[in-house]
Structure 1
Amino acid sequence: MRYVFDQGEILDESKVSVSIRNKGLNYGLGCFEGIRAYWNEYQKQLFIFRIWDHYKRLNESGNSLHIQVPYTPIQLIKWTIQLLRQNNVREDVYIRPMCFKGANTLRPDLTDPFNRVTIYCTAFEYKPKPALKVCVSSWSRTGNNMIPPQAKSTGNYLNSGLATTDALLNGFDEAIFLTDEGNVSEGPGENIFIVKNNRLITPPISDNILAGITRDTVIQIAKNHLFLSVSEHSLSRTELYSADEVFFTGTAIEIKPIINIDHRKIGKGIEGDLTKKIRFHYENIVRGNNPHYLSYCTPVY
């Protein structure tokens, strides 16, 4: 897609560059969001899903990291809608806003005031398998006193990259992090849920997870539509193996069943009934087909 947003302007991407001396690039001093917009062919409309919540979280990440975003969520929403219109997007699309240190200086501090904001959008090419075989990673999730996992920071994704790479090299589709205490945390870019005895359980924020927007949507679906008991509490590694169902959630991966962990079959080894029902509701909500959740869907046209 030809046009991008950079520092208050929508420009042809060929006119935008970042110096190799850039401090944000050299040290991973930035924060970002991943947002999706869904094309509804019947309505001929593009809906951005929970854009306010994403930009609110971007600002919160920036505040946590001393990388203050120089635009309000409302301003960023307006720029994003204009960017999608200018690119004439009429398909499912991924949107990547990022705020990073813009100075070309050597010291890796966060005190300089130049925080650069860019937004680009791209046709969504990430197509994971319908069901995943995963492993518990030998890498621990970064903790609250290392790089705050509640902030979506660029530097923290080296931790994710190491875990995913190890998983792929060992024949798995993805990894699951544990905390240093041995509690289940999350995937490299996903939150995790288990189903046990018709109850939905997910790790709490205190177990070094990102407060996922898809995670929150799933909790609402489970409570309001499926009338499931939902609890947030710490999980041990062995509770993964004995679960009836396990699934990942995330903006990129959406709702994805996990059918095998560490070479152990989960449940019946296929997508479980509750996972399938949650996924069905989620897919309807994001395309603007559920009237109860239209406030989450921002129309572009």
Structure 2
Amino acid sequence: MINYNGTLVTESNISIHENRGFLYGDAIFETLRVLDGKVLFLEDHYFRLMASLRIVRMEIPMNFTMEYMEEQVLLLTDTLAAAPSYRARISVFRKSGGYYLPTNNDVEFIVTSSALEEPLYSFTEGAYEVDLFKDFYVTKQLLSTLKSTNKMVQITGSVFAHENGLQNCLLVNDEKNVIEALQGNLFMLTGNRLVTPPVSDGCLNGVMRRQVLALAQKVEGLEVVEASISPFDLQKADELFITNVIKGIQPITKYRKKEFVSIMASDLLKRLNAKIRFS
């Protein structure tokens, strides 16, 4: 079951050979986590989606309010088998027509969802090893910060990670700075200094990134900064961890020959779950 333009259907019957999201990557999406009948961090998701649609010059329907977006997600998740929480995705794409130049800027949307086993965030047990993915890089520009359906760098990087027995890879931009992981933003703790790359370096403007920054700024004695990270900085770090809305916080246990602890990541995860419980 999916939600296609506000109607629950088993199939969208979209003609894939005409769909601009398929043909040109002309689509923006948000991946959401639903808990107890509400979308977590709804406001951040909504305003990021609206900003992204404006950047790529898609026409935002007048009725597409924040409340409407949540209603459309819950319309679908409420019909699914009961689960502690859900992963949902809303994909917005320009209507069919044209080649690189669209015939109009009106949009359609699809909401899909699947159940998650855990209601709150938790760590993946065991080793979580990463390395740099250097075959391709992310350009240091505004489009790189959007959640568009053009994800070939992340796809080829994921294949590389799988082929090399890694759990993830770290991406670099055209200035050879480390900006993010394949599926989330990167944080690095060195001493009492927690660093994450600035959005201006080309990393995703992550919703969970924003949550973790806000939580970290409340930790006594911790300096929280947004600054560029070089590959050499990773070797000096005490902790590395990845953030995204579905997983929350994922500690990195090993980068090349360096192994890491997860003390700060554990503390921030507890704070994140507490915020969710009492918000």
TM-score by length of 2: 0.89
Residue 268 of structure 2: aligned partner:
278
Structure 1 vs Structure 2: percent identity of aligned residues? 25
Change in CA separation of 1:159 and 1:69 when aligned onto 2, cut-off 3 Å: farther
- Of 102, 118, 124 in structure 1, the residue corresponding to residue 110 of structure 2 is 118
Q: Distance in 2 between matches of 1:149 and 1:128?
A: 28
Q: Distance in 2 between matches of 1:226 and 1:212?
A: 24
SS in 2 for 1:56: helix
Q: Distance in 2 between matches of 1:217 and 1:208?
A: 19
Is residue 232 of structure 2 the alignment partner of residue 234 of structure 1?
A: no
SS in 1 for 2:143: coil
Instruction: Report if aligned partners of 2:8, 2:76 keep a CA contact under 8 Å in 1.
Output: no
Q: Deviations over 1:191-239 (max 9, x none)?
A: 0001101211111111101111111111111112455210111111011
SS in 2 for 1:34: strand
Residue 144 of structure 2: aligned partner:
149
Amino acid at match of 1:91: P
1:73 to partner: Cα distance: 2.4
Residue 65 of structure 1: aligned partner:
56
Instruction: Report if aligned partners of 2:39, 2:70 keep a CA contact under 8 Å in 1.
Output: no
Change in CA separation of 1:227 and 1:217 when aligned onto 2, cut-off 3 Å: farther
Q: Deviations over 1:18-74 (max 9, x none)?
A: 212222211111000000013xxxxxx344211121121111111111223322323
Change in CA separation of 1:68 and 1:189 when aligned onto 2, cut-off 3 Å: farther
Is residue 20 of structure 2 the alignment partner of residue 23 of structure 1?
A: yes
Q: Distance in 2 between matches of 1:227 and 1:82?
A: 44
Q: Distance in 2 between matches of 1:141 and 1:69?
A: 31
Amino acid at match of 2:72: W
- Flag structure 1 segments of 5+ consecutive residues without an equivalent: 39-44, 295-301
Aligned length: 272
Q: Deviations over 1:134-163 (max 9, x none)?
A: 010113443245x712221111x1111111
Q: Distance in 1 between matches of 2:66 and 2:87?
A: 18
Instruction: Report if aligned partners of 1:36, 1:93 keep a CA contact under 8 Å in 2.
Output: yes
Residue 130 of structure 2: aligned partner:
134
Change in CA separation of 1:235 and 1:65 when aligned onto 2, cut-off 3 Å: same
Instruction: Report if aligned partners of 1:246, 1:266 keep a CA contact under 8 Å in 2.
Output: no
Q: Distance in 2 between matches of 1:204 and 1:23?
A: 31
Is residue 203 of structure 2 the alignment partner of residue 206 of structure 1?
A: no
Q: Which has the higher contact order (CA 8 A, sep 6+)?
A: 1
Q: Distance in 1 between matches of 2:28 and 2:92?
A: 5
Instruction: Report if aligned partners of 1:140, 1:180 keep a CA contact under 8 Å in 2.
Output: no
- Of 87, 102, 109 in structure 1, the residue corresponding to residue 80 of structure 2 is 87
Q: Deviations over 1:112-139 (max 9, x none)?
A: 2331111121113799843410010113
Q: Distance in 2 between matches of 1:106 and 1:77?
A: 31
- Flag structure 2 segments of 5+ consecutive residues without an equivalent: none
1:102 to partner: Cα distance: 2.5
Instruction: Report if aligned partners of 2:188, 2:239 keep a CA contact under 8 Å in 1.
Output: yes
